[in-house]
Copies of this chain bind each other. A is one copy, B any other.
Amino acid sequence: MPTESPLGCDGHLLQRRKQVLGAAYRHFYDQPLHPVRGHDVWLVDADGRSYLDCYNNVPCVGHSHPRVVAALAAQAATLNTHTRYLQDGVVAYAERLAALFDPALDTVMLTCTGSEANDLALRIAFDVTGRCGLVVTDNAYHGVTMALADMSPSLQPVAGHVRTVRPPDSYRAEPGTDIAARFAADVQRAVDELRLAGRSPAALIVDTVFASDGVHPDTHGALLAGAQVMRAAGGLFIADEVQGGFGRTGRHWWAFQREPALLPDMVTLGKPMGAGHPLAGIVLQSALATTFGSRCRYFNTFGGNTVSAAVGMAVLDVLVDEDLLARADTVGQHLKAGMQALARQHPAIGDVRGAGLYLGVELVDDPATKLPASALARRLINRLRDDGVLVGTCGREAHVLKIRPPQTFQRAHADRLLEALDTGLRAVGLPG
């Protein structure tokens, strides 16, 4: 039941927002959500109504987790300064983070946002290889800086030094397709095209859960196959874990570890790293940092400041102490099974994909033609919002439900989401 507020005081706030933030800002939902409080998996709006948050991966330990807030407040009251001074906290945090990776990934560089992390990874890749050719997926999103917008086809057409490849989409591939072989062949074609255009390949960079491509965490070996082709061509493999990292996919800390033989040259981190505090970074092989560092100094005023390090440490503490990797795994499996059961009742659900608590539910107008059901997806997420459940969409046609709740999500929350989806799909009717 929609509240009246969007036409009342929220309407005034919306107008003021549009005036002062300008035309480039968008919001979710036909009636924008106006949250004023958050706790665990819940957002509470200005009218006191609670919404089950099935969308926000940033507050990975739940909204306003008391331990994270306490660590933030205590460190901010003590000291907040930067990496040009010697600091215990940032060194201890970087060591702890690096220990969550293969020993070859032993160096940590800290930034404030995933965009800054990916942008820095590009700078290092270009510097170390002396090249600038890039390979990304068809509807990739890697961030908002100029260099990243140029290689984020979900935002704008890619620049001349960028080529795209198909994500490991087993739903839309011809039946029987070897997804890894197709991905490798795509990367080889991209490398060849770059060379024909006079650009040598510097890196293959992929979001390891392929979120903006419609969520494809089951990569069928594509990451390793693609990385091998890129390395044979003299380029690097960069795993963008801004979406998939910090245990969200269950069992592993990092989504790329779902391919056990894969060792990235660099891994970029962001969103959940500070549970909402601006903290992001790169974990990389030390030879790359040494080569880059011999030519360039790196300083980020806020990156790796004492407060960020304390917050990052608290987030790791909570993830471990509350056993949230296992939670993502078991609750995620329950949720995925429930989605698959729903799919058997609702032909609009063409495919259910996911690992842990990162799920994509692909909506189609017809299971046979697999025509993307963008309008249905839009109606559905708005209906769910009105029903008190928050999900988003992704994919080029915005027809895939993007489900990635805080990792404190429980079975009862999953059941609430499944029930709302079932009701919602019946209510918004058949696609048309």
Contacts and interface: CB of A to CB of B under 8 A. Distances in A.
Given A63-B80, A72-B76, A120-B144, A33 B302 contact: no
Contacts of A86: 10, 13-14, 17, 27, 32-34
Contacts of A108: 20-22
A393 interface: no
Interface string A88-125: 10110011001000000011111011111001101100
Contacts of A68: 76
Interface stretch (A171-179, A291-299, A319-327): A291-299
Interface string A194-215: 0000000000000000000000
Contacts of A81: 35, 38, 43, 56, 58-59, 63, 276
Contact of A13 (B43, B88, B119, B294): B88
B147 A146 contact: yes
B35 A85 contact: yes
B115 A300 contact: yes
A283 to B, nearest CB: 10
Interface string A319-337: 0000000000000000000
A268 to B, nearest CB: 14
Nearest to A32: B86
A25 B112 contact: no
A340 interface: no
Most chain B CB inside 10 Å of its own CB: which residue of A79, A88, A114, A289: A79
A24 B113 contact: no
Contacts of A88: 13, 36
Interface in A364-380: none
- Size category of the A interface is 35 or more
B146 A83 contact: no
Contacts of A232: none
A233 interface: no
18 contacts: A13-B88, A19-B106, A22-B289, A22-B293, A27-B86, A32-B86, A38-B78, A56-B81, A69-B76, A72-B76, A112-B113, A112-B302, A123-B145, A145-B145, A145-B146, A149-B296, A155-B296, A271-B301
B84 A26 contact: yes
Q: Which 4 A-B pairs have the closest CB atoms?
A: A23-B293, A22-B289, A24-B293, A73-B73
B36 A79 contact: yes
A111 to B, nearest CB: 8
B145 A91 contact: no
B276 A307 contact: yes
A43 B88 CA distance: 15
Contacts of A34: 85-87
A123 B147 CA distance: 10
A10 to B, nearest CB: 6
Contacts of A24: 109, 289, 292-293, 296-298
Nearest to A293: B23
B113 A289 contact: no
A270 interface: yes
A82 B79 CA distance: 26
B16 A91 contact: yes
A249 interface: no
Contact of A106 (B20, B35, B305): B20
Contacts of A69: 73, 76-77
A24 to B, nearest CB: 4
A309 B215 CA distance: 32
Interface string A333-358: 00000000000000000000000000
Interface in A26-76: 26-28, 32-38, 43, 56, 58-59, 63-64, 66, 68-69, 72-73, 76
A290 interface: yes
A301 B113 contact: yes
A393 to B, nearest CB: 12
A79 B94 contact: no
